[in-house]
Amino acid sequence: MSTYQNRSIVMSKRPEGEIQDGDLSLKTSPVRDLAAGEILIKTLWLSLDPYMRPRMNDAKGYMDPLGIGDVMTGESVGRVVESQSDQYAVGDIVTSYSGWQEYYIAPGDQERMYKVNADGVPLQAFLGVAGMPGRTGYCGLSYLGKPKAGETVVVAAASGPVGTVVGQTAKKLGCRMVGIAGGAKKCAYVVDVLGFDACIDYKSGDLKQKLSEACPDGIDVYFENVGGEVTKAVAPLLNEGARAPICGYVSAYNATDMAAVETPFHILGALPKPPEHRFFLVTEWQDQHAEITQLLADRVKSGELKYEETIAEGLENAVEAFKGMLKGENFGKQLVHIAD
């Protein structure tokens, strides 16, 4: 028997709307011995992301729903502490979909598990700007947004890891970059540190008017990740030939009523001259996973790609951090630091 004790966060009850006390709980169980070909990963950093909320619902989406008693889904960076696989050695650093737990046993050929070449890059960056959110921002913007120098690009949640990468990538290409974020502090950071040309505080009201003033030449690329009122403010400003890659619309993720939600597809599709817009998953560019991860990691290492993070300490604080993130209380990438 292994000497490790595992702690995990499981879904005890399916939430309706916002997550309540008792929906998620901490569980302790011994770690079993490895079978041939398996590795044991010790979680170091856990990523918290908006997509985790819909996974808790009892409806088939583009991923299967969690069952009652299941460990919460999540990607982490961890260290291999035992290995029965010839593909991994003890000490290797990997990203994997371990879930919210301190130890994770995986087969050596686990899908979506990757060795990380840390090389001076903070490990947690591989969950943020050099990880799935970063690749989402980079690929969605580059391959579907197709920004050209001089064009105006708009992204919401601008201080988050996706928005951060979208904005700094577009700036590098010579675009006018306008962000939207919640609160004066985030907006100041987006302009002063990330180098956006403007950032609008959606909490201060008058979004339509302010966005219109920040985009005197209209909008050519709208990277969609929030939906709702932001999309409605963006829509009338879109130039002919505009592009709007859609990676999600988190403003609706706590909605309890599908049929009445006006998705970005409805808002954009029904415009007199709709922009090019479609939903995408970053896995479309799976064959470029290593290359784009390296490109983003290099920019982190050189200091060119800046980012912010909010760190909760210990697995026992993951639930509160998750609830806060869904309300936009985090500043930058939301992480849980599990171990060193």
Interaction mask 101-140, its own copies, x per CB under 8 A:
----------------------------------------
Stretch that binds its own copies, among 161-169, 188-196, 264-272, 314-322 (CB under 8 A): 264-272
Kindly tell me which of 107 and 274 has the beta carbon lying closer to its own copies: 274
- Contact between 261 and 285 (Cβ < 8 Å): no
Q: Which window, 74-82, 162-170, 187-195, 254-262, contacts its own copies (CB under 8 A)?
A: 254-262
| Near its own copies by CB under 8 A: residue from 284, 291, 304, 320 | 284
Nearer to its own copies, 54 or 328 (CB): 54
Residue 280 as a binder of its own copies (CB under 8 A): the answer is yes
How many residues of this chain bind its own copies (CB under 8 A)?
A: 37
Burial of 253 (0-12, 13-18, 19+ CB in 10 A): middle
Say if CB 80 and CB 103 are below 8 A apart: no
Q: Which stretch binds its own copies (CB under 8 A): 81-89, 98-106, 279-287, 309-317?
A: 279-287
The torsion angle over the Cα atoms of residues 129, 133, 135 and 139, rounded to 10 degrees, is -120
Near its own copies by CB under 8 A, which window of 188-196, 246-254, 287-295, 300-308? 246-254
Residue 17 beta carbon to its own copies: minimum distance, rounded to whole angstroms = 10
Q: How far apart are CA 49 and CA 94, in angstroms?
A: 19
Q: In whole angstroms, how close is the CB of 19 to its own copies at the nearest point?
A: 12
Residue keyed to tokens 């064009």? 151
Q: How far is the CB of 298 from its own copies (least distance, A)?
A: 28
Nearer to its own copies, 31 or 282 (CB): 282
Select from 68, 133, 70, 67 the least CA-distant residue to 101: 70
Binding to its own copies (CB under 8 A): which residues in 57-96?
57-62, 65
205 part of the interface to its own copies, by CB under 8 A:
no
Binding segment (CB under 8 A) for its own copies, from list 86-94, 102-110, 125-133, 271-279: 271-279
Q: Is 326 in the site for its own copies (CB under 8 A)?
A: no
Long-range own/partner contacts, residues 284-292 (CB < 8 A, 24 or more apart) = 284/139, 285/135, 285/139, 285/143, 288/139, 289/114, 289/135, 290/114, 292/135, 292/138, 292/139
Whole-angstrom distance, CA of residue 224 vs CA of residue 92: 36
Q: Closest distance between its own copies and the C-beta of residue 268, in Å?
A: 8
- Of positions 90, 184, 281, 290, contacts its own copies by CB under 8 A: 281
CB of 276 to its own copies, least distance (A): 9
Which residues sit at the interface with its own copies, rule CB under 8 A? 53-55, 57-62, 65, 246, 252-263, 265-270, 272, 274, 277-281, 284
